[in-house]
């Protein structure tokens, strides 16, 4: 058996899952590059008050590490981060992680990948796994005068933990999932709270029941109960949301009815009208949670839907000339999406750059690999079903698929493997044909839409992703022997023994 050297880019939930997968297969020769100081990826970066996950805890976890101790049906952010850290520790991953280390370039050098970090260090690998997340680079709109604001100002994913909020005048710009969660958390404590809305969002009510000591004891005593709960919640969410996004039917009607009924929590008819979207629920990413609309019953909480004109030292000036004075402005304005592992510069066979190949829009073979980039596998890559499925489920499916190839390499079946152009083109043609039938194309602007005008999403039932990646279709892959590869391996083996 050969020993593969594996680079993983990112120590978030997918990178940790891949590291654990390698460790369980007895492979220790891997390095995880993490640009932040800690483990958790998005759950490390996002540390704003009121952060919750709106996917049920029992299916937002690794299948191989069921957690009996979730405190609620929907977990608070810090609990998810602690869970991912614990799984990393349980698999002894920290010793393989280079923290505060950003990968700059990944270059194919005849027989292997050379990974170069921003500090100039290089290391060679046989495989590269990208696990860099989908919502990473923050997006701050270029509002005139933004820099001149005299108070505290930051993006929701770059939270300044020492910022005082209680008794302060706080503005949140943006009404996505983050804006909603911030309103619930800060609305009750600020002396004045204003939510700046450009586009109203549909909000699906959720009840976040706590799990008591009995439920935790049962889950600890009977691990199969946790596995059953995973399956149960997976079926519930994929059978409703996962289907509603790809075709019309009772699931779509049910979600729409719940969102519309929820609006009646808003007592003031004028406010209700201003908060009612003019597109179908689910076209933009659904905002989910209870207790949001109720905040606007407080005399200190208000919605501002007059467009922002500019920002000046004292606060935000709207197009009607009104100055909204603030102590703190939070930009809950989302992320630059459709970037995946970019801006890492990947240079593949024949000098092909991933940035060029992905212009205007990233595409992959079945979400996991790109022709011309041998032995590179992507977790949460282009068109992954993140609108239909838990990210843990997706990345575990993809990690298992990558692992299958790594094991084939260990057995010496090939030196390099990459999907063919023909198979990749056929897959993306089918994908483009199917996308217009989905909810994301029904007339709204959202972060799902790529530069080609199509949603960068998965247009089929979530199960189909696992089916497509259950076994590689060998005719879709090009496997090669590389001159010099065996000699290098033998030399390293001898060196290792001597």
Structure tokens at 262: 């929820």
Q: Which is nearer to ligand N01, 365 or 448 (CB)?
A: 448
- Only one of the segments 7-15, 65-73, 191-199, 262-270 lies at the binding site for ligand N01 (rule: CB under 6 A); that segment is 191-199
Cβ-proximal residues to 195 (8 Å cutoff; 6+ apart), any chain: 171, 172, 175, 179, 183, 301, 302, 303, 304
Sketch the per residue contact string, 413 through 452, with ligand N01: x for CB under 6 A, - otherwise: --------------------------------x-x-----
Q: Which is nearer to ligand N01, 175 or 424 (CB)?
A: 175
Helix 250-262 × helix 223-244 angle, to 10°:
90
* The only residue of 173, 245, 347, 457 in contact with ligand N01, by rule CB under 6 A: 173
Least distance to ligand N01, CB of residue 388, Å: 12
Check binding of 174 to ligand N01 (CB under 6 A). yes
State how far the alpha carbon of 322 is from the alpha carbons of 192, 216, 460, in Å.
16, 52, 47
Residue ranges in 333-362 that form contacts with ligand N01 under rule CB under 6 A: 333-334
- Only one of the segments 173-181, 225-233, 266-274, 451-459 lies at the binding site for ligand N01 (rule: CB under 6 A); that segment is 173-181
Size of the site for ligand N01 (CB under 6 A): 23
Q: Which is nearer to ligand N01, 346 or 447 (CB)?
A: 447
Least distance to ligand N01, CB of residue 145, Å: 13
Least distance to ligand N01, CB of residue 199, Å: 3
* The only residue of 332, 344, 380, 394 in contact with ligand N01, by rule CB under 6 A: 332
- Only one of the segments 113-121, 254-262, 330-338, 481-489 lies at the binding site for ligand N01 (rule: CB under 6 A); that segment is 330-338
Q: Please answer whether residues 241 and 324 qualify as being in contact, where contact means their C-beta atoms are separated by less than 8 angstroms.
A: no
293/299 Cα distance (integer angstroms): 13
Structure tokens at 472: 């590689």
Q: Please answer whether residues 200 and 211 qualify as being in contact, where contact means their C-beta atoms are separated by less than 8 angstroms.
A: no
Can you give the C-alpha Rg of the chain in angstroms?
24
Least distance to ligand N01, CB of residue 335, Å: 6
Within 10 A of 472 (CB to CB), how many other CB atoms are there? 19
Structure tokens at 368: 């996991």
State how far the alpha carbon of 475 is from the alpha carbons of 380, 422, 430, 471, 479, in Å.
24, 10, 18, 12, 10
Check binding of 374 to ligand N01 (CB under 6 A). no
207/432 Cα distance (integer angstroms): 36
Q: Which is nearer to ligand N01, 135 or 170 (CB)?
A: 135
Query: Which among 134, 135, 132 has a CA at the least distance from the CA of 15?
Result: 132
50/449 Cα distance (integer angstroms): 27
374/461 Cα distance (integer angstroms): 29
Strands (E) in 101-151, as ranges, are: 103-109, 112-117, 122-125, 127-130
204/240 Cα distance (integer angstroms): 13
Residue ranges in 132-171 that form contacts with ligand N01 under rule CB under 6 A: 135, 141, 156
Least distance to ligand N01, CB of residue 44, Å: 14
Residue ranges in 268-327 that form contacts with ligand N01 under rule CB under 6 A: 285, 308
Q: Which is nearer to ligand N01, 419 or 450 (CB)?
A: 450
Q: Which is nearer to ligand N01, 156 or 367 (CB)?
A: 156
* The only residue of 178, 234, 395, 398 in contact with ligand N01, by rule CB under 6 A: 178
| Residue whose token pair is 């593949």 | 348
* The only residue of 34, 54, 238, 363 in contact with ligand N01, by rule CB under 6 A: 54
Least distance to ligand N01, CB of residue 206, Å: 10
Check binding of 198 to ligand N01 (CB under 6 A). yes
Q: Please answer whether residues 185 and 332 qualify as being in contact, where contact means their C-beta atoms are separated by less than 8 angstroms.
A: no
* The only residue of 75, 175, 234, 388 in contact with ligand N01, by rule CB under 6 A: 175
Burial category of 220 from C-beta neighbours within 10 Å (exposed 0-12, middle 13-18, buried 19 and up):
middle
Chain positions contacting ligand N01, by CB under 6 A:
52-54, 135, 141, 156, 173-179, 196, 198-199, 285, 308, 332-334, 445, 447
């Amino acid at each position: 058996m050969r020993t593969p050297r594996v680079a993983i880019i990112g120590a978030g939930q997918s990178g940790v899952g891949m590291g654990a997968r390698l460790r369980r297969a007895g492979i220790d020769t891997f390095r995880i590059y993490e640009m932040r100081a800690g483990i958790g990826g998005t759950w490390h970066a996002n540390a704003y008050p009121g952060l919750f996950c709106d996917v049920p805890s029992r299916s937002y976890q690794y299948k191989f590490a069921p957690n009996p101790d979730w405190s609620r049906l929907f977990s608070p952010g810090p609990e998810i981060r602690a869970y991912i850290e614990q799984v990393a520790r349980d698999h002894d991953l920290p010793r393989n992680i280079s923290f505060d280390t950003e990968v700059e370039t990944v270059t194919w050098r005849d027989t292997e990948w050379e990974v170069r970090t921003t500090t100039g260090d290089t290391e060679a690998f046989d495989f590269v796994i990208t696990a860099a997340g989908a919502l990473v680079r923050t997006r701050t709109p270029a509002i005139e005068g933004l820099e001149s604001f005299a108070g505290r100002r930051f993006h929701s994913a770059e939270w300044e933990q020492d910022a005082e909020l209680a008794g302060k005048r706080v503005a949140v710009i943006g009404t996505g999932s983050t804006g909603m969660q911030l309103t619930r958390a800060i609305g009750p404590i600020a002396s004045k709270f204003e939510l700046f809305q450009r586009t109203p969002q549909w909000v699906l009510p959720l009840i976040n029941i706590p799990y008591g000591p009995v439920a935790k004891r049962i889950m600890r005593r009977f691990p199969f109960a946790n596995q059953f709960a995973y399956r149960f919640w997976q079926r519930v969410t994929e059978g409703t949301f996962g289907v509603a996004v790809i075709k019309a039917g009772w699931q779509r009607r049910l979600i729409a009815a719940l969102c519309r009924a929820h609006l009646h929590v808003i007592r003031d008819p004028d406010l209700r009208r201003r908060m009612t979207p003019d597109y179908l629920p689910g076209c933009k990413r659904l905002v989910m949670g209870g207790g949001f609309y109720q905040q606007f019953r407080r005399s200190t909480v208000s919605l501002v839907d007059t467009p922002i004109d500019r920002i000046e030292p004292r606060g935000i000036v709207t197009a009607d000339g009104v100055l909204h004075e603030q102590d703190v402005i939070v930009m809950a304005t989302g992320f630059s999406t459709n970037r995946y592992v970019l801006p890492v510069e990947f240079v593949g066979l024949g000098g092909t750059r991933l940035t060029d190949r992905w212009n205007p829009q990233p595409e992959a073979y079945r979400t996991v690999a790109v022709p011309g980039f041998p032995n590179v596998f992507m977790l949460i890559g282009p068109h992954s079903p993140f609108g239909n499925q838990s990210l843990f489920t997706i990345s575990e499916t993809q990690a298992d698929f990558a692992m299958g190839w790594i094991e084939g390499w260990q057995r010496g079946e090939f030196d390099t493997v990459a999907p063919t152009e023909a198979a990749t083109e056929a897959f993306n043609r089918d994908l483009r044909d199917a996308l217009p039938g989905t909810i994301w194309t029904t007339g709204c602007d959202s972060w799902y839409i790529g530069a080609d005008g199509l949603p960068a999403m998965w247009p089929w039932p979530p199960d189909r992703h696992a089916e497509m990646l259950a076994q590689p279709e060998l005719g879709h892959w090009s496997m090669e022997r590389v001159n010099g590869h065996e000699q290098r391996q033998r030399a390293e083996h001898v060196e290792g023994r001597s």
